[in-house]
Amino acid sequence: MSTADPPVTPAAEKAAPGARGAAGSSRRAYLGYVAGKLAGAAVSLFAILVTSFFLFRIIPGDPVKTMTHGRKVDAEQLAALRRQYGLDLPLWEQFTRYVGDALTGDLGDSYQFNEPVLDLIRERVPATLLLTGTAVVLYSALGLWLGTRAAWRHGGLGDKVNTGVALTFWSVPHFWLGMLLIIFFSVGVGPLPGLFPTGGMESGGEEGPAYVVDVVHHMVLPVLTLVAACYAQTLLVMRSSLLDEMGSDYLTAARAKGLRDDLVRRRHAVPNALLPTITLVFVNLGFIAAGSILVETVFSWPGLGGLFYQALSVPDLPLIQGLFIVYAGSMILMSVVADLIYPLFDPRVGR
Amino acid sequence: MTLLDVRDLHVTYGTGAAAVPAVRGVDLTLAAGQKLGLAGESGCGKSTLALALLRLLPRPARVRGEILLDGEDVLTMSWGRLRAVRWAGASIVFQGAMHSLNAVHRVRDQIAEPILLHRLETSQAAARRRAEGLLEQVGLPAARGGAYPHELSGGQRQRVMIAMALACDPRLVVADEPTTALDVMIQAQILRLIERLVAEHGIGLLMISHDLAVLSDTCDRLAVMYAGRIVEEGPAQRVFTAAEHPYSGALAAAFPTVGRAADRRAPQGLPGDPPDPARLPGGCTFHPRCPVALETCAADEPRLREAGPGRRAACVHVDSVKEAR
Amino acid sequence: MSTEALGEEPGAEPPDTGAPAKSAAPADSADSAADPGALAWARRRRSAARFWRAYRGQRAGLVGLVALAVIAFTALAAPLLVGSDADSVTDAPGTALENPSTEFPLGTDQFGRSVLDLLVYGARISLTVGLLAAALTVGIGTLVGMLAGHYGGWLSGVLMRVTDFFLVMPTLVLAIVLATVMSRSVTTVIIAIGVAAWPKTARLVRAQTLAIEARPYVERARALGGGHTHVMRRHVLPNVLPLVLAQTTLVISEAILTEATLAFLGLGDPQVVSWGGMLQDAREAGAISSGHWSFLVPPGIAIAVVALCFTLAGRALESVLNPKLGVAK
């Protein structure tokens, strides 16, 4: 580690002695860092447009064939369709048009719904945010908590059970888990009555508090599925990063000060071990959109994932493309947020 | 009244056939306000001993014997009492301040933490003020308290460690290699600082180092450890300049002193490596490396015995030396 | 350290036959060709034995390995065990959606085929796709990681930017999109998974490459005139391989899960019986609403067991090869 003191200008030192002066100059460094990360994100977002153009215009060959697949279409209709979608233009012109449209928020029209893709997506976003946002918060908290416990008593029975159960849930395909939950808790097996709705987000006709209760009732099983499927990763990362901290001298020092074991863990070990985990939590937040495709499908949740599944079965290429951009874009945004937030937690990284 | 009285202390890592003895029957006493140096090569058990004093060793270590701190046995006291004794009764200046300070907390808060914990102050603000006062005592501007450990130099971090050790006015401070990682100029500063503070506060000091010269300079008495045992004990300057045990002599010679005739003629290190605690040689554990070993040394391990006024040593040659005098 | 010691795994041997003579021969005489070879073999045998002893100590990993052996055998012997026409729709032995019986221990599917027989057949596709997709992923990842780590400079910069870009891409979405825009086949599924999942391996391999190239013996090899290819093949690759092996095992379980997901979404090869496809069939045949769990439960358990076995084996490998590396996944 560097032994040099942070650069403190004499003037700043006088105006605000010590730490505050250092904060002034490092704030400038942090702003530079932010600008760099934002520029990187802009490049990545553009790269997503390039990738999606490549994926949807070049790999499939003739999109019009895909569009009409199965149906008999004569040459004239094909040509008309080509003109309609601008496919008769040279490739580079298609590309610039496509990028221009995408940047102005025009992602084309869905084949299936004959509606602008962006409107379709916008309608579905709240449902997905509600479902996966809840799930991410819950499974991150659960993973951090169990991971901390497992590492603190590593090698013990609790650790083995915890890790084993997490790995098992991680190996289970979560759409299958969702279907099992539906069978057992919605349809009911034998004498067991169905306790929860089989799918959807609301029963309809409810208002006010009753509506909220209804939505929560619909959310229980899908959220449970997502939590079971995803908490393992957080648990394992937290466990291994806390294990790295175990036996560190500063923990012995904290014990020597007379701190209780749980205070040593909470105040000293966990804040250090959390640092590598923060990034993961934010990546998971970015995963909010894409993480629930299967669960939304199984539970007929009216969100982006369900829309994606509908688009796949056609396949409705403009809609898939639009969703691809949304999914990938949200990942990139969240990883930038993680990069920007990380230095605020770790004083060793310049802020 | 003795401040610290260690009686027949044993520390063993692991159990059964895999048991490795790290400390094998150590007796130590330290009076209040006195300074005792504990010397030895790395792996001789001196750091294990330091951690054992506050029961800080990890789980697989087994500790046997008595550690009386102000007459109370640390090894048998309840967890609650032990936590109260930690830092308020005895504190530790750890080696390697970089790793012993928590990287994500400001140093002021790390100093204030035990102050609040042991209820020397009840408000956060008062504890911080006290921490800043301590920082000034160790020669750092109070404003540096807002810094994180990585923003300080090695010497500054060690000063923070010392301020932290003094936070609860302990009766005993254990300094485990407090200057090892520092360069020579800073080392001298830190040693003088420790000496001054210990004298001002009337604290008992147990200083651990491999550097006999440093210890003899700072401490009143000196104990030399080899393979988990004390092999020599006595007044610091006497042990350093006229060792009774050949190991102490070799350790002293490993750090040449200006003006000592022997160093000019024969600067020497010690041949061989310290023994593996898992496979200690039979008899006197030092005999394979000893320049004056006799045949009996391979068979019997000598106990500590009187070797002059206030001195003890564990060597077969001790009696003959005394008789010759 | 242990990675270095175990660098000479059996798996590490293909690229270096003949190469030792090239590096050591100039000073030595004729027997040098045979002798170092024999020595190297003895050393490899020893380290393989040491590796096996360490692996045996990992109980969970051992269980995973044994279970995988059984499953692999079942998959290979499927035509012998259940007959080669178990997946035929036209002459199915039973009626649709029967409950478990002595003839059909797990009941039948919507065409009247035995679910147990289908399960055995499904293992073939699951393992094939899992292994090949993981091989593709790890192949791309190793190549990119080694090139980026070895050459440095602008090439490394560009490669790592690309890697980071793909790293934040949602893997499943990318695989789904690839599987959608290409024709439906097993190859498509393998490519879709392989292309979507490589960046993690690339990062790992690059870090390991950098660590290895900082070692003194690599500097020595370079000082003695070893070219890029020589250094990468003789020094970097053998030392990267153990890590890559562990990584492959972990990637396989992810690949198997992704394969099941793609098949469940109807993006797999419709001609082939697969566990994910069985789940899709079960769902479409109304197994959920009718509570017909005997069709639904077995394929899911099969997927979970295989994925778990590979994960356990991979974690055991990782902790044997690199005990310091916390098993971060």
Asked if the Cβ–Cβ distance from A1 to B98 is below 8 Å, we say: yes
How many angstroms from the chain centroid is the CA of residue B47?
A: 7
Residue B129 to residue B133: CA distance in whole angstroms: 6
Q: pLDDT-based confidence at C132, cuts 50/70/90?
A: very high
- Averaged pLDDT score across all residues of chain C: 77
Q: Which of B101, B106, B144 sits opposite A250 (nearest CB)?
A: B101
Separation in Å, CA C170 to CA A178, A323, C13, C177, C211 = 21, 12, 35, 11, 29
Q: pLDDT-based confidence at A240, cuts 50/70/90?
A: confident
pLDDT above 70 coverage of chain A, percent: 84
Q: pLDDT-based confidence at C89, cuts 50/70/90?
A: low
pLDDT tens-place string over residues C223-244: 887 788 888 888 888 888 877 8
Q: pLDDT-based confidence at A350, cuts 50/70/90?
A: low
Residue C267 to residue C129: CA distance in whole angstroms: 14
pLDDT at B206: 93
Query: Which residue from B117, B103, B172, B166 is spatially nearest to B137, judged by alpha carbons?
Result: B166
Residues of A in contact with C255 (CB under 8 A): none
C interface mutation test: which of A66, A112, A175 has the most C CBs within 10 A? A175
Q: How far does the CA of residue A233 sit from the closest CA of chain B (Å)?
A: 25
Residues of A in contact with B183 (CB under 8 A): none
**Residue with tokens 């192949």, as numbered in its chain:** C139
Q: Give all strands of the β-sheet with B221-226 in edge-to-edge order.
A: B90-93, B172-176, B204-209, B35-39, B221-226, B229-235, B312-313, B305-306
Q: pLDDT at residue A16 above 60? A: no
Asked if the Cβ–Cβ distance from A175 to C311 is below 8 Å, we say: no
Farthest-apart Cα atoms in chain C, separation: 79
Asked if the Cβ–Cβ distance from C300 to A172 is below 8 Å, we say: yes
How many angstroms from the chain centroid is the CA of residue C107?
A: 32
Asked if the Cβ–Cβ distance from B83 to A258 is below 8 Å, we say: yes
Query: In this predicted complex, what is the ipTM?
Result: 0.84
Q: Are B75 and B37 in contact (CB under 8 A)?
A: no
The secondary element (H helix, E strand) that includes residue A118 is helix A117-152
More confident residue, A38 or A276: A38
**Residue with tokens 């891409």, as numbered in its chain:** C169
pLDDT at C225: 79
Q: pLDDT at residue A142 above 90? A: yes
Residue B151 to residue C47: CA distance in whole angstroms: 45
Query: Which residue from C132, C194, C136, C203 is spatially nearest to C167, judged by alpha carbons?
Result: C203
Q: pLDDT-based confidence at A17, cuts 50/70/90?
A: very low
Query: Which residue from B259, B275, B243, B205 is spatially nearest to B21, judged by alpha carbons?
Result: B275
Q: How far does the CA of residue B84 sit from the closest CA of chain A (Å)?
A: 6
Separation in Å, CA B46 to CA A324, B26, B101, B207 = 62, 10, 21, 10
Radius of gyration of chain C (CA): 23
pLDDT at A15: 36
pLDDT tens-place string over residues A216-237: 889 999 999 999 988 888 898 8
Residue A164 to residue A166: CA distance in whole angstroms: 5
Span between the terminal Cα atoms of chain B, in Å: 34
Q: pLDDT at residue A290 above 60? A: yes
Residue A191 CB neighbours (<10 A): 5
pLDDT at A70: 55
Asked if the Cβ–Cβ distance from A176 to C279 is below 8 Å, we say: yes
pLDDT-wise least confident of A263-277, B52-66, C30-44: C30-44
Give chain A's count of helices (H) and strands (E): 15, 0
Asked if the Cβ–Cβ distance from C265 to A56 is below 8 Å, we say: no
Asked if the Cβ–Cβ distance from B148 to A268 is below 8 Å, we say: no
- In three state form, how does the secondary structure of chain C look? CHHHHCCCCHHHCHHHCCHHHHHHHHHCCHHHHHHHHHHHHHHHHHHHHHHHHHHHCCHHHHHHHHHHHHHHHHHHCHHHHHCCCCCCCCCCCCCCCCCCCCCCCCCECCCCCEHHHHHHHHHHHHHHHHHHHHHHHHHHHHHHHHHHHHHCHHHHHHHHHHHHHHHHCCHHHHHHHHHHHCCCCHHHHHHHHHHHHCHHHHHHHHHHHHHHHCCHHHHHHHHCCCCHHHHHHHHHHHHHHHHHHHHHHHHHHHHHHHHHHHHHCCCCCCCCCCHHHHHHHHHHCCCCCCCCHHHHHHHHHHHHHHHHHHHHHHHHHHHHHCCCCCCCC
Span between the terminal Cα atoms of chain A, in Å: 17
pLDDT at B323: 46
The answer to whether A297 contacts chain C (CB < 8 Å) is yes
pLDDT at C84: 65
Q: pLDDT-based confidence at A67, cuts 50/70/90?
A: low
* Number of inter-chain CB pairs under 8 A, A vs C: 136
DSSP code per residue over B164-189: HHHTT--SEEEEESTTTTS-HHHHHH
Query: Which residue from C108, C276, C286, C293 is spatially nearest to C193, judged by alpha carbons?
Result: C276
Residue A257 to residue B167: CA distance in whole angstroms: 10
Q: pLDDT at residue C79 above 80? A: no
Q: pLDDT at residue A204 above 90? A: no
The answer to whether A16 contacts chain C (CB < 8 Å) is no
More confident residue, A12 or A319: A319
Q: Do chains C and A touch (3 or more CB pairs under 8 A)?
A: yes
Secondary structure (3-state) at B275:
coil
- Per-residue pLDDT tens, chain B, 325 aa: give them: 688 999 999 999 877 777 888 898 899 999 888 899 999 888 788 888 989 999 988 877 889 899 999 888 989 999 899 999 899 889 998 887 778 898 889 999 999 999 999 888 888 899 999 999 999 988 899 888 899 988 888 889 988 998 999 888 899 999 988 887 778 888 888 888 888 888 888 889 999 988 888 888 889 999 999 988 899 999 988 888 888 888 888 888 776 665 655 555 555 566 777 788 888 888 888 888 888 888 888 888 888 888 888 888 888 887 654 444 4
Q: pLDDT-based confidence at A107, cuts 50/70/90?
A: confident
Farthest-apart Cα atoms in chain A, separation: 85
| pTM across the whole model | 0.79
pLDDT tens-place string over residues A258-267: 898 889 998 8
Q: What are phi and psi of B68, to 5 degrees?
A: -95, 115
Most confident of A116-130, A309-323, B6-20, C160-174: A116-130
Q: pLDDT at residue C220 above 50? A: yes
pLDDT at A187: 78
Please, which chains are in contact with A (at least 3 CB pairs closer than 8 A)? B, C
